[in-house]
Structure 1
Amino acid sequence: MLHEVSFSSYNKRDQVQGWIYVPAARPKGIVQIIHGFGEHSRRYLHMIVKFMDAGYIVAADDHVGHGKTAMVSGVWGDWGDTGFHTMMEDEHTLRELVCEKYPGLPYFIFGHSMGSFIARDFAANYGNDLAGVTICGTTGIFRGADKAAALLKKAIDHGLGNDFDPEFTGSLMGWMCERCDDVTIGNEWICSDPYVQRDHAEDPFDSFTRPTSNRSLYDFTQMMMAIEGVQWAEKVPVSLPFYNIGGDQDPVGEYGKGIYEVSNWLCETGHDVITKVYSGYRHEIHNYSEIKDEVEAGIIAFMDGIISI
């Protein structure tokens, strides 16, 4: 069964477009997929099917400024003017909609890349609503975020918040192909498979080729900086377990360093965290044909283990 849902965004401008995928079997839990920067939730169809086959209801939406939500609103790359919690609050609204339809089931979230930042913010604000969190392709201290934030804030203070200046995006993320050979598209850092690169770049529901507004890019930096250090981890309920996964050739996680930074913050504050780093793989470990089944099986095993306790 598939439910298509639409709800008012926290930004009071957009109608967020979402989906609830229900297996044709008695569900044992719910997992909400939170997608990353510049993409959309249906890039996760392989994962969605795997989770359904494992007995989970799957919920997902397209963030404001992204995917079908942007197709409907006509607004790409701008997230509104309600701050960096906007997407997190939208994900919380989706959870409430899902739980109205399917109450009483263990609730998990999976977040990739920016989605993992949102998931971590969600855990700090609504962690008591969750049974477990998987973060994939996450960041520790994102290189240059503080400097980019200062430049973006200056532009916003000069009345340029609604402008779209690709130079700011370049200053924040332009270094991320530094370990990639033969860079022609600019997204090679996501995966070494050229087909995945082309699929990402040519997808009409992706906003990869569209600029992000200065205000939204500033919110992006604030989102990252709000989930740094033990001061973030201390806001997360100690009882909430984490599964932290990524590739050691992923620049978002500083090639493994940032992944372990996050796990160490959680460990230092008494949390239960399992960490798995895939050697030789870039950002989208779930899109490598040779390991995606293993990646998804690991997430399912994490959730099944919590349900069985």
Structure 2
Amino acid sequence: MISESFTFKGKDYVEIFVYKWTPNVDVQVRGVVQLAHGMAETAARYEDFANDLTKNGFIVYANDHRGHGETAGKVETLGELGEDAFNSMVEDMHRLNSIIKEENVTLPIFLFGHSMGSFLTQRYICLYGSELKGVILTGTCGKREIIVDIGRIASKVEIMRRGRNAKSINLNKLIFGSNNNFFKPNRTLFDWLSRDNKEVDKYIENPYCGAVFTAGFFYDFLSGLKSVADAEEIKNIPNNLPIYIFGGDKDPVGKNGKGALKLVKTYEKHGVKDLTYKLYKEGRHEMLHETNKDEVTTDIIKWINAHV
């Protein structure tokens, strides 16, 4: 695998950092996977996954979202995404997609979104779905009305009290605080990510992971979740766009599988014709870092191969 990186100017001229992983010269290139990572992590964590994809002939592009990883620039500015964060990240993804098309004119492009990246991807396909060959969503969920409405109200109050740019431990606890409750007694604060203790520890030890985000981000993100659940927006997803949804049946973000299945039913209702889903028994939030990650990766590549 050949590893490179570059930057491009996203919305509002923010410099967006991108990892690019390319197959070795002896491997025939068959397509491209664009990857959207989750909240409070970095695209660098997907290098092993990219290695498997490149071995199978796929170029991988993965940007660090604004406020994350190398795009944030330094640890102190993690979680600071600026105005209209949710929509800005979606537009950054689209600008990267345009670069990918320029560099790979004839190749099909698949968009892979994990967790926050999956919700960004849900919005992306409402706007630009016709430009993709297929979509993969993981660590995801369908409509979550109560927590979204409560969170938006709480974030408004926090913004009024402390300002948009104040990092909010209270909102962080509100949104994520209950995730570990399913796995007591807890070894760490992040047991909900994976059954693999080594992977959990690597997340904790990574200075670019686990940051507390601003009140403004939480308001923008939760507003974005509300928009992706809007039936009128979902109607804009092309019916012929292949979609693969997978996750763990013990993922608290996906409501232990129920939320992921809710999203499947929503897409079925709106006429998506090529829809595949799979829940992995005992799997938690990060299936690419789970104890059965080899099985998960094999299934992903099998699905992509079927749609090239």
TM-score (norm 1): 0.93
Q: Matched residues in 2 for 1:137 and 1:74: separation?
A: 27
- Per-residue CA distance 1:149-199 (angstroms, 9 max, x = gap): 111123334561111121111112211111112225311111122222111
Q: Matched residues in 2 for 1:82 and 1:220: separation?
A: 9
1:171 matched to which residue of 2?
174
Query: Is residue 211 from structure 1 mapped to residue 209 from structure 2 by the alignment?
Result: no
Q: Matched residues in 1 for 2:199 and 2:304: separation?
A: 27
1:100 matched to which residue of 2?
102
Q: Matched residues in 1 for 2:117 and 2:199: separation?
A: 19
- Per-residue CA distance 1:100-121 (angstroms, 9 max, x = gap): 1111211101111111111111
1:288 shift after superposition: 1.6
1:15 shift after superposition: 1.0
Q: Which moved more, 1:244-253 or 1:232-241?
A: 232-241
Q: Identity of paired residues, percent?
A: 29
Q: Matched residues in 2 for 1:73 and 1:90: separation?
A: 21
- Per-residue CA distance 1:78-137 (angstroms, 9 max, x = gap): 111134211111111111112211112111011111111111111111101100000011
Q: Matched residues in 1 for 2:18 and 2:141: separation?
A: 26
1:66 matched to which residue of 2?
68
**Stretches of 4+ moved more than 3 A in 1?**
229-232
1:193 matched to which residue of 2?
196
- Per-residue CA distance 1:254-274 (angstroms, 9 max, x = gap): 001101110001111110210
Asked whether the equivalents of residues 20 and 98 of structure 1 are also in contact (C-alpha less than 8 Å), the reply is: no
Q: Write the letter of the residue equivalent to 1:191.
A: S
Q: Write the letter of the residue equivalent to 1:302.
A: W
Q: Matched residues in 1 for 2:193 and 2:12: separation?
A: 29
Superposition pairs of residues 105-124 of structure 1, within 5 angstroms: 105-124=107-126
Q: Matched residues in 2 for 1:232 and 1:186: separation?
A: 35
Q: Write the letter of the residue equivalent to 1:257.
A: K
Root-mean-square deviation over aligned CA pairs: 1.7
Q: Write the letter of the residue equivalent to 2:16.
A: V
Q: Matched residues in 2 for 1:269 and 1:247: separation?
A: 24
Q: Matched residues in 2 for 1:227 and 1:113: separation?
A: 14
TM-score (norm 2): 0.93
1:8 shift after superposition: 1.5
Asked whether the equivalents of residues 142 and 266 of structure 2 are also in contact (C-alpha less than 8 Å), the reply is: no
**How many aligned residue pairs are there?**
303
2:234 matched to which residue of 1?
233
Q: Write the letter of the residue equivalent to 1:109.
A: L
Q: Matched residues in 1 for 2:75 and 2:132: separation?
A: 30
2:22 matched to which residue of 1?
22
Q: Matched residues in 2 for 1:180 and 1:223: separation?
A: 29
Asked whether the equivalents of residues 36 and 113 of structure 1 are also in contact (C-alpha less than 8 Å), the reply is: yes
Q: Matched residues in 2 for 1:304 and 1:161: separation?
A: 44
Q: Write the letter of the residue equivalent to 1:153.
A: K
2:257 matched to which residue of 1?
256
Q: Write the letter of the residue equivalent to 1:22.
A: T
1:141 shift after superposition: 2.9
Q: Matched residues in 2 for 1:37 and 1:83: separation?
A: 12
2:137 matched to which residue of 1?
135
Superposition pairs of residues 35-74 of structure 1, within 5 angstroms: 35-71=37-73
Query: More helix per residue: 1 or 2?
Result: 2
2:298 matched to which residue of 1?
297
Unaligned residue ranges in structure 2 (runs of 5+): none
2:6 matched to which residue of 1?
5
Asked whether the equivalents of residues 230 and 268 of structure 1 are also in contact (C-alpha less than 8 Å), the reply is: no
Unaligned residue ranges in structure 1 (runs of 5+): none
Note closer, same or farther for the CA distance 1:155–1:205 as it changes in structure 2 (3 Å cut): closer
SS of the aligned residue for 1:85 comes to helix
Asked whether the equivalents of residues 75 and 207 of structure 2 are also in contact (C-alpha less than 8 Å), the reply is: no
SS of the aligned residue for 1:237 comes to coil
Q: Matched residues in 2 for 1:229 and 1:255: separation?
A: 23
Superposition pairs of residues 126-165 of structure 1, within 5 angstroms: 126-142=128-144, 144-157=147-160, 160-165=163-168
Q: Write the letter of the residue equivalent to 2:216.
A: R
Note closer, same or farther for the CA distance 1:178–1:72 as it changes in structure 2 (3 Å cut): closer
Asked whether the equivalents of residues 11 and 88 of structure 2 are also in contact (C-alpha less than 8 Å), the reply is: yes
Q: Write the letter of the residue equivalent to 1:167.
A: N
